[in-house]
Structure 1
Amino acid sequence: MAAVLRLVSPQLQAVYLGAGAPQDALQQLQRFHALRSLDLPAAACPEGQLPAFVQSLEELTLREGVSPALLSALASLPRLRLLSLTLTEALPAGHQRQLAGLRSLEELHLYFSPSQPTAFQFQPSGLTTLTRLRSVLLVAPRDSMCQPLTIGPGMSKLAALQELQVESRVERLPPDLWSCLHLTRLDLDLDHSAGLPASPVPTTGAAVLPALRELRLARCRLQGGALPPALCQLSTLSRLEVQSCGLTSSAAHAGLPEGFSRLSKLEHLSLEANALCALPPALCTLPALRHLDLSCNQLAWLPPGLYLRTLETLLLSANRLAQVPPVLTEAASLEVLDLSSNPALELSRHDVTAVLSRMPRLSLLLLGKQAALDLPLGAGITAAGMHGLEWRTPSVAALVALGQALPQLQIDFEHTAKEYEGI
């Protein structure tokens, strides 16, 4: 390794050391005074110490476990902006406060990967001195032996926090999460362990996540199969994803709160892999939707509504459609339509002349059946339910009519819309 490093320019700025790197590998880097980014196993740091020449680091990733001694040594990195740690055991009480001295820190990534059942804690109240911290990522892999993560209060006191991502089972989320004033992106994948905290009690002048633009809820618990009313107060929300959360909607159960229609800036909405039998009425009056993903539900029809007029992408794969929904004649701006994995759907010439030909901007139509062989939890058509179903393919007359009505249209029988980049 030393021979190789001698050939490298002293202006080297980024280094990745794999698990097989020599024990003295870190010391061999001392001639690279411009080093800004370092990714290495924690065991490569002798006796849990960091050499003085890495004080100029701006990005540091420590894999395979971090000792308390090494955590304390991080205080010697005054320029550090990004810190990524893999924790294999719970740190003693108070050691998280060692991070509070990293006053330049902007991004903190914590990965929990113990070799035996272990309970971890994340206490944001101990990081309030990090006035530049804008992004926090907390991840426990699905096959990890990490017990439900404890997240303490104080998230709202992280004054610069803009992005929070949690991919782990958690005991519960702190109630003050609703009060993060500068949070623009919230991503929660909780493995069905918990849901959003209780809705805040309305008070004069109090705002609920006033800057939030993107919210993703995956495998979160929804009380009563419905989204909480507090979401209707997210006036700046432009992207909402609710995936595999057990969201239900039928003639007797709305699923979405009545005030949901107040989300006038919502452009991207995904309700993939839930249990929707009918489209919630509050969704049908959204005025700015451009992308709507209703894949893997139990929908047999679509209602008319304002939501259709601005749609550019509509994903309806793996539902219970038997025909192209007639209301799509209102979707004059539609460019992408995914009808794949609807076993009972047979594209007829009537569908073409009465519906599809009246969508002049339609450029991609997906009619494949392969996606139904491996559907996610909550899909309307399960792999087991596929047994004995006879797939219906479009008639030649329908395809000829479609080609004549929309000569620019691409028809795909093999893929789903999500396999196309940018959709």
Structure 2
Amino acid sequence: MSFDVVAIREQFPILSRSVNGKPLIYLDNAATTQKPQCVIDALVDYYSNSNSNVHRGAHFLADEATQHFEQARDTIQKFINAPKREEVIWTTGTTESINIVANGLSSLLSSGDEVIATGMDHHANLVTWQEACRKSGATLKIIPVTDAGELDQDVFDSLLSEKTKFVAFPHVSNALGTINPVKSMTAKAKRFNAWVLVDGAQGAAHGWADVQEIGCDFYVFSGHKVYGPMGTGILWGRASLLENWPVWRTGGEMISTVTLQKSTWNVLPYRFEAGTPNVGAAIAFGKAVEWFADLDHKAVIEHEMALLAYATKLANEFEGLTIIGNAQHKISVLSFVLDVGHPADIGFLLDKQGIAIRTGDHCAQPLMARFNVPGTARVSFALYNTFDEIDALFTALKKVKVMLS
């Protein structure tokens, strides 16, 4: 298959709307991606034709909803190359997935143990480990970030020891776009028998979430960053770990037996899926992954990298603009500051011209402190973005600079 950006754009209804009297240029894809019509249709179809609770009803609609819900799990299993379907746990998103792991980790660590995280982590992949260490008495170690915006691998090597019990790092930095060498980092941690979690919130959106290839113990990501609905996510973990991992939420579905004195827990994946799930969104999430997996990924990546290369060229030619994060390997994210104005002002003025970007600390305050900036203006491209949109962005930035000077 070849990649046709015009044909792709036609599948996304929101891209045809206007904002502030201008055609929408959506460049905030690292925050959330827009949804193709087939995903919207899948969500509407569930509520129009199959709405029912899953696993529990003794009637046609319940059976149909359950079938679609579990088929979506199978789709995710295939997408991430998980060995077993029961290892795929539905969550509300990356944050909840990480918290499930952190909750269990708190009771499995003890004083003298060490946890390694990074200086580029999203707060959801840092604060959780801070809390796990605080509750358990373990020590948190941090892999620093280089001037180029990469994880310092030499320091990582020096941090690993027999005390290391758990290592967590992002597949891709949400703030800088840096692609981390997750396979080699996992292999290093495994030499010390440490558990490894990869925050795949940005990596999965580019089709790189092959958990067997990476070799990690946990991989987590959100549906809304992979062209699916918000309020959905995945915790993948090795069955040998999840079968005995402490549960987080208790209630319906996750139990096996209940008496007035005690309870026992259900088998995987249900032991971590307490309560009524977001059934329609999960089904639509599966449709999004199915849609994305059917694309020519080589062509998609080439398109996104070409967008990044073109935007980087224009950024380097733009007087007073400084790119934050120049890693050798990046996804299509351009994070920058101007020599005039605050990033929030840049975002506000671009919005007035119909251009949507993200500004602020990107839930990565320690990383912003590392580069001594209050935040950045972040442009993030997806497969439906175009070179004309990049031209429009830099034309608008010239106006922004004049207004802020």
Structure with the greater alpha carbon radius of gyration: 1
TM-score norm. by structure 2 comes to 0.22
Greater length-normalized contact order (CA 8 Å, ≥ 6 residues apart) = 2
TM-score norm. by structure 1 comes to 0.21
